[in-house]
Structure 1
Amino acid sequence: MWLGEYTHFYDVITGAGHDVDLASVEGGAVPLDPMSLMPPVLLMGGTNKRYESAQFMEHLDETPSLSDVDLDAYAGIYLIGGHGTMFDFVSGAVPGAVATFADSGKIVAAVCHGPVGLLHATLADGTPLLAGKHVTGYSWAEEKLAMRASDVPFSLEEELTAKAAEYSKARVPMTKHVVVDGTLVTGQNPTSATGVGEAVLGLL
């Protein structure tokens, strides 16, 4: 998990009086992308203050697995990015959970690499979740700038372009870009997490 993509979203949602619960693919401690803990990234949007708070970080130590969560109890799902999601979100509980929220007309949000969890989500009527949708997600240019192009199994930008009606991105890499299509909210990169939170808050 890219820590700032959680803290920025969390601060927006909880600041408005809503609750946020954190779940993970397998349960237990949430593995953090070490790059998200390095300056200047850690200093963005007050992430460093959250990281320095033992009380805040403790709730990352023990999380339920997504498959054990009562999805009906929530108004939406938010998929946080980090390069590990390129491997962990393509199958298993994530696409199914996403489809459950979408089928119920609830909020589905994702940021950076998080939209990989949308790629294989299929609605109850057999329609791919991304069919006819406008989305964004981590661009290939950003992947190359981060020097991770050789570490990921595929280009998220390419897959989103192929499966969605329209993929869009900011003119300048690593700048805020958020796309809202009904109850589907996607953000391009870590700098978009606050914007995703604000868009989700508007839907709530």
Structure 2
Amino acid sequence: MEKLITLTAVAAPINVDNLDTDQLMPKQFLRGIDKSGLAKGLLYNHRHLSDGTTNPDFVLNKPGFENTQIILAGPNFGCGSSREHAVWGLMQYGIRAVIAAGFGEIFYSNCFNNGLLAAKVSPQTSAELFEYLSDEDPCKLTINVKDKEIRTEDGSKIWHFDLAERHQTMLLEGLDMLEATMKDIDSIQAFKEKHEKAFPWMSGLAGRYAKNR
């Protein structure tokens, strides 16, 4: 996956609580057998009016937000169903980071498995960021994954976000879940040998069971 070390980009505020995966990627865009074409479906019912025309009042449709790569969202972002298409759609649209005071659990894991930063901040930090950003006058933020910091473009304000060491490593080194696991292959092998020595009767048990079925 593409590494994410620092990112300076336009940040779009979407102050909606509990914005679930059904809103992020409506069901009609789940019919394909691959990941292509999902950018069109991202937040479709927010970006469009009921007649299918563009909603001029939605932040991502406003002038200056065409190249948005950061979303500041309300709490519990990505709750609801487990559809990974929501993450794929965000990334295809060009989003590399979502900042929120909380995330749906499955969505949160899907983000890092695909190289999307889900930056979890405190409610106070979230409120300060919403106060700083405007949906009329585009502003840029700089995100530093190594330092777990969010800065204004001029560096006058700094906020911090939570990020587990494993997820941080995955982003900094561009690793998916399997590649991150393989970094610990020596420790895994050492545990396997120690376990088999302590419990020899369990060695190869799964293989023997499968063979005898």
State the TM-score, normalizing by the size of structure 1.
Answer: 0.30
* Larger strand proportion of the pair: 2
Please identify the structure whose Cα radius of gyration is greater: 2
